[in-house]
Amino acid sequence: MPERPQALFAMTAENMPLVFPPEVLARLRESVDIDPALVAEDLTDPVFADVLARTEILVTGWGCPRLDAAVLDAAPKLRAVLHSAGSVKGFATPEIWRRGIVVSSAAEANALPVAEYTLAVILLAGKDVFVRRERMRAERSSPGWGVVPGIGNHGRRVGVIGASRIGRKVIELLRPFDLVVSLSDPYVDEAGAAELGVPLVGLDDLLRTSEIVTVHAPETPQTRHLIGRRELALMPDGGVLVNTARGSLVDTEALVDELRTGRLSAVLDVTDPEPLPADSPLHDLPGAFVTPHLAGSQGNELARLGLAVAEEARRVVSGAGLACPVDYAGLDRTA
């Protein structure tokens, strides 16, 4: 059997066994020599100096320390950084790419549970489940078996903001349902939208014509408060805003004002600020359904991230190209 290249975990120690349970760790160790007892939360700690000097593949995750020039100097054999989570922005520096080190992310694997969450809440929002549940809780009564006008998912118009990995998966998951889906994304052209099977519209038109709007754009300086007071005012009465991206994309104060009128409702898995302060009105407004950042990989879904890294490690060792490379040139347009 050929010698396996040296690898090292660089993440929060408590997360490693969750992302790499025994069966996933075994898959990873088929390709690399990696010690699960060595998990570096600080790559400048002398205890890791010897193994870091021999490391060819760094397996990163939540809590990975910053990979700056000094750290990379201590890892002269490093040729791949395989991230077992979504964004690498928190720790990756341009120096990684300058040195020709390839970078991979499990963002594709993490996109699936977010898209599944989004699909679920869109279908429930179409039935007005969230608002009517709160109404039942408050009134302690049920309207009975009568037909409820205005609800349902037959031809419901859904607008997707952002053709990110998650946005694309949401579009894919929505396809079997009797919904009318449109997309707004400044980096997608008509041909690209046609490949996704949806019409491309401007943001204002999407907001005006969509009964449910779901946000999947990246967090950048340009997207801060992408949905502000003016944009919320464009949404039709009874509209629902779904945000599983980042809280800063929505102007929280403007959203609270709209929710107080009862004109709109919102399903928020992310907030600004996050975590949500105890005195935030979003906790009590009947039109706000807030979950504590659950849409991304949780529980048994974490193993999917580890499996994605194990597959990337196999590809690196075999000489195949990465399945999910991170391109530095496009980093400013990704999450």
Give the active site residue among 29, 293, 314, 333. Answer: 293
Distance CA 47, CA 174 (A): 50
pLDDT of residue 2: 64
Give the active site residue among 165, 168, 216, 246. Answer: 246
Active site annotation includes 283: no
Active site annotation includes 154: no
Distance CA 240, CA 159 (A): 10
Do 36 and 319 meet the contact criterion of CB atoms below 8 Å apart?
no
**Could you tell me the pTM of the whole model?**
0.91
Distance CA 227, CA 220 (A): 13
Do 8 and 59 meet the contact criterion of CB atoms below 8 Å apart?
yes
Active site annotation includes 293: yes
pLDDT of residue 335: 62
pLDDT (tens digit, 0 to 9) for every residue of the chain, 335 residues total?
Answer: 468 999 999 999 999 999 999 999 999 999 999 999 999 999 999 999 999 999 999 999 999 999 999 999 999 999 999 999 988 999 999 999 999 999 999 999 999 999 999 999 999 999 999 988 888 888 888 766 778 888 999 999 999 999 999 999 999 999 999 999 999 999 999 999 999 999 999 999 999 999 999 999 999 999 999 999 999 999 999 999 999 999 999 999 999 999 999 999 999 999 999 999 999 999 999 999 999 999 999 999 999 999 999 999 999 999 999 999 999 887 777 66
Give the active site residue among 208, 274, 301, 314. Answer: 274
> Per residue, what are the HEC states of the chain?
CCCCCEEEEECCCCCHHHHCCHHHHHHHHCCCECCCCCEECCCCCHHHHHHHHHCCEEEECCCCCCECHHHHHCCCCCCEEEECCCCCCCCECHHHHHCCCEEEECHHHHHHHHHHHHHHHHHHHHCCHHHHHHHHHHHCCCCCCCCCCCCCCCCEEEEEECCCHHHHHHHHHHCCCCEEEEEECCCCCHHHHHHHCCCECCHHHHHHHCCEEEECCCCCHHHCCCECHHHHHHCCCCCEEEECCCHHHECHHHHHHHHHHCCCEEEECCCCCCCCCCCCHHHCCCCEEECCCCCCCCHHHHHHHHHHHHHHHHHHHHCCCCCCECCHHHHHHCC
**Tokens, residue 262:** 């009862």
What pLDDT digit, counting tens, does each position of 211-244 carry? 999 999 999 999 999 999 999 999 999 999 999 9
